[in-house]
Amino acid sequence: MFKEAITTSDGSTTFYVKDRDETYHSRHGAIAEARHVFLKNGLDFWLESQGKKELKILEMGFGTGLNCLLTQLAIKSGQPKIQYHALEAFPLDHQDIAQLNFTEVLAVDLELLMSLHDAPWEKLVTITDDFAVKKQKMKVEDFDQKNHFDLIYYDAFGARVQPELWTEEIFKTMYEALNSQGVLVTYSAKGSVRRALQSVGFDVSRLSGPPGKREMLRACKGVF
């Protein structure tokens, strides 16, 4: 799968996959999209509505590591410790990662991003006192863990190129993976995605989208 590094509108890089005509992040801003969808409407929403001592996040699609990096950087003193789990079937190599400029744009040490990518697979690894990561090299279709996570970042390639990742069956797996008051957020706002989420039991809200998108979706399990 050939990947071309491109610069998005906020100055951060992402990859364009030519054979799928798809990008890893929004062309309107990779960092801006991640902050809006996954941090503002996912992490911040969960922290405001919950108060647990530990937060378990599941990311569908570790990819460039951007969502994980931003989540780690967002931790503030006194907030819950985070266990960050990620599913990724096709990890990037060091040559790919070297083309990303996230750490330059965010003004953080490159070693932090590399610590996330270099963390051993299939093992919970402590990155800082407040943040641990576990990456699993697997497809979401093969994932089966129930009542374990508080928050899901659903960041798979779009339904246009990978429709099999946006089905009722997959979202049933995500629903079952969440605790009783879990939350799933995704950049997608397609009607078919919203209906699939609702059909498996989620209470779905359409929210204002990140730059370049009118809407996004947040799906809640339980009452908030």
Does a structural domain hold residue 175? yes
Beta carbons within 10 angstroms of residue 187's beta carbon: 23
CATH number at residue 209: 3.40.50.150
Q: Position 29: which residue type?
A: G
Q: Which domain holds residue 139?
A: 28-220
CA–CA distance, 39 with 147 (Å, rounded to integer): 22
Three-state SS at 143 = coil
Cα–Cα nearest to 8, from 42, 35, 33, 36: 33
CB 123 within 8 A of CB 134: yes
Angle formed by the axes of helices 66-74 and 110-118, nearest 10°: 120
Does a structural domain hold residue 213? yes
The pLDDT value recorded for residue 50 is 86
CA–CA distance, 43 with 37 (Å, rounded to integer): 9
- Tens-binned pLDDT, residue by residue, of the chain (224 aa): 789 999 999 999 999 999 999 999 999 999 999 999 999 999 999 999 987 789 999 999 999 999 999 999 999 888 899 999 999 999 999 999 999 999 999 999 999 999 999 999 999 999 999 999 999 999 999 999 999 999 999 999 999 999 999 999 999 999 999 999 999 999 999 999 999 999 999 999 999 999 999 999 999 998 77
Does a structural domain hold residue 208? yes
CA–CA distance, 148 with 131 (Å, rounded to integer): 17
Does a structural domain hold residue 16? no
Does a structural domain hold residue 20? no
CA–CA distance, 68 with 103 (Å, rounded to integer): 13
Q: Give residue for tokens 């599941």.
A: 58
Does a structural domain hold residue 201? yes
Does a structural domain hold residue 11? no
Number of domains forming the structure of the chain: 1
Does a structural domain hold residue 7? no
CA–CA distance, 32 with 129 (Å, rounded to integer): 27
Beta carbons within 10 angstroms of residue 65's beta carbon: 26
